[in-house]
Amino acid sequence: MTNSFSQLVGQQQAIELLTQAVRQNRVAPAYLFVGPDGVGRSLAARCFAEFFFCNYVETRLAASVQRRLRQGNHPDLLWVQPTYQYQGQRYTAAEAAEKKLKRKAPPLIRLEQIREITEFLSRPPLEAPKNVVVLEEAQTMAEPAANALLKTLEEPGQATLILIAPSPESVLPTLVSRCQRIPFYRLDTAALTQVLTHTGHLEILQQPTIVNIAAGSPGNAIACYEQLQTISPELLPALTTAPKSYRHALELGKKIDKELDTEAQLWLVDYLQHSYWQQWHQPGIIHQLEQARKSLLVYAQPRLVWECTFLALYQICNLQNN
């Protein structure tokens, strides 16, 4: 059997805590994996389930368990992701992107998904000593869903739940108090390079803006690079230089609204903040773009948001030039 945690780079503390819990037969009823996006929290959850399940089977059967877990069809593992609601159906972010659905609001973990967890845990595990449930982006739970999950955490039965979130503060305190916290950290340059090389994304290291945005998160670096490829080669250079006129500013706002969905627009805010800062070192620009992010998050009309933003950027840059 291969080392379940061999792919997890730069998170030695988490690996040690989780492997010792299994070896000493002291697996907690619930864990909270906290740390930045893209540093290995989801991978660690998968590695933990693999290590935990394989620890209780004969060596000759371990390869079969690993294969089914990696294919996502082990009967004792339930993986829950935030979803979009569209025409009465739920779609994960990957499914929504594949179907090219227009996404105006961020995905959520919904009350009906918590009910599905309850139903899943109502039966005993079929092969493993415990069922394992993983909730990605646990901070996206609305209060009714979080309260429903709290009942499960109070009496998990033969189960271990893993909540994945950016920080303890992003999740209801009542949920946090029932979980053992496992911290995850940003990777240093050597570890980041190792992961990107292993995943075949070495070219990302030649993109300083993306590396800066990623800030030690290989997952974010890959997501940013892939997002960058979706923006037309004509649009990106126009966005990363100061608007040339009021009319140009309005045209840029119109193009963004037409070509990019809300999720891509929120990513663009980060990219433009880093790009403009490298060129201008002007705090006013960063502030304007941050205001754009806040407006987009409260579902303001995107075209109006970007038109106002680029008009303000034109004024700031024009004033500095003069």
CATH code, domain carrying 48: 3.40.50.300
- Same domain for 131 and 177, yes or no, is yes
Residues 19, 123, single domain; the answer is yes
In a domain, 300, yes or no: yes
Looking at the structure, tell me whether residues 18 and 124 fall in a common domain.
yes
Domain span holding position 291 = 189-321
Residue 242, domain member (yes or no): yes
User: Tens digit of pLDDT for each residue in 42-65?
Assistant: 999 999 999 999 887 766 677 888
Instruction: Tell me the C-alpha to C-alpha distance, in Å, between residue 8 and each of 35, 48, 192, 249.
Output: 14, 11, 11, 44
pLDDT category, 322, cuts 50, 70, 90? low
Residue 217 is assigned to a structural domain of this protein:
yes
pLDDT computed for residue 318 by the predictor: 79
Amino acid 317: pLDDT = 85
Per-residue pLDDT of 180-208, as tens digits, reads 999 999 999 999 999 999 999 999 999 88
Tell whether 261 and 283 lie within a shared domain. Answer: yes
Banded model confidence at residue 1, pLDDT cuts 50, 70, 90: very low
pLDDT at position 104 over 80: no
DSSP string, 240-294: SS--SSHHHHHHHHHHHHHH--HHHHHHHHHHHHHHHHHHH--HHHHHHHHHHHH
pLDDT of residue 67: 85
**Domain membership flag for residue 154:** yes
Say if residue 58 is in the same domain as residue 159. Answer: yes
Give me the pLDDT at residue 321, please: 63
Same domain, yes or no: 166 and 26: yes
The verdict on 179 and 31 lying in the same domain is: yes
- Same domain, yes or no, for 52 and 121? yes
* Distance, CA of 298 to CA of 20 (rounded, Å): 44
- Same domain as 222, residue 90: no
Contact 9, 157 (CB under 8 A): no
Is 2 part of a structural domain of the chain? Answer: no
Q: Are residues 111 and 136 in the same domain?
A: yes
Q: What is the pLDDT of residues 257-279, one digit of tens each?
A: 999 988 889 999 999 999 999 88
Flag whether 3 is in a domain. no
Element (H, E) at 168: none
Do 120 and 45 belong to one domain? Answer: yes
Measured distance CA(258)–CA(256) in Å, rounded: 5
Tens digits of residue pLDDT in 69-89: 888 889 999 999 999 988 888
Reduced to 3 states, what is the DSSP secondary structure of residue 300?
A: coil
